[in-house]
Amino acid sequence: MLIPLVMTIIGPDRTGLVESVARVVAEHGGNWLESRMSRLGGEFAGILRIELPAGKQQPLLEALQKLQGAGLTVVVRPDDAKTPVTPGRPARLEIVGHDRPGIVREIAAALARAGVNVEEFSSEIVSAPMSGEALFKAIARLQLPERCDPAALKTGLEKIAADLLVDVSFMELERKG
């Protein structure tokens, strides 16, 4: 029997960090299923999902504790497959504009009010091509609840975008399967 686990890791960025976690998982018979990892500032952070043979969880946890001596913080949680996936429709949101405080807060609040689940979100600050000013860019993968009116959501996001002086691109995606 395989036990699914979700792990988060964070620590000072260094060469070999991912390998050290992958080695511990493999040494305990685990299978690395999926992950999202990135360096932000001087820190490296990630989330990963693994499967592990029953009875290997405690030895894995003890081995991961040893990595904390190298400054790596690891949190392991059961991957509760019983948690129902919220039905809905996939969508994509892109935001681009001059950087200023509050962009993420305002957009996230509008999504939350509409019951939209943010499944993936990435953002960065880049230099604008001509002026060199700080430009905020974000991409989000969303799950719209069945009761959500995409046209009304798009209109609401465009109003917020106008207030924030950013451009917003929102589109529903085709359902998989």
- Pick the closest to residue 3 from 51, 47, 55 (CA basis): 51
Residue 177 pLDDT: 57
Please give the CATH superfamily to which domain 89-172 belongs: ACT domain (3.30.70.260)
Residue 86 pLDDT: 65
In sequence order, what are the residues at sequence separation of 6 or more whose Cβ sits closer than 8 angstroms to the Cβ of residue 83?
none
Residue 129 pLDDT: 84
The CA–CA distances, whole Å, from 37 to 63, 85, 101, 110 equal 21, 23, 25, 27
Residue 81 pLDDT: 65
Residue 94 pLDDT: 97
From first to last of its 177 residues, what are the pLDDT tens digits of the chain?
999 999 999 999 999 999 999 999 999 999 999 999 999 999 999 999 999 999 999 999 999 999 888 889 999 999 986 656 667 899 999 999 999 999 999 999 999 999 999 999 999 999 888 888 889 999 999 999 999 999 999 999 999 999 999 999 999 988 765
Residue 175 pLDDT: 75
Asked if 95 and 161 count as a contact pair (C-beta separation under 8 A), the reply is: yes
How many other C-beta atoms can be found within 10 angstroms of the C-beta atom of residue 170?
A: 20
The H or E element containing residue 136 is: strand 134-144
pLDDT tens per residue across span 77-110: 999 866 566 678 999 999 999 999 999 999 999 9
- Pick the closest to residue 21 from 79, 74, 77, 78 (CA basis): 74
C-alpha span between 139 and 152 (Å, rounded):
20
Residue 62 pLDDT: 93
What does DSSP say about strands 89-98 and 117-127: parallel, antiparallel, or unpaired?
Answer: unpaired
Domain boundaries, given as residue ranges, for the chain: 2-78, 89-172
Domains 2-78 and 89-172 agree in fold: yes
In CATH, the number for domain 2-78 is 3.30.70.260
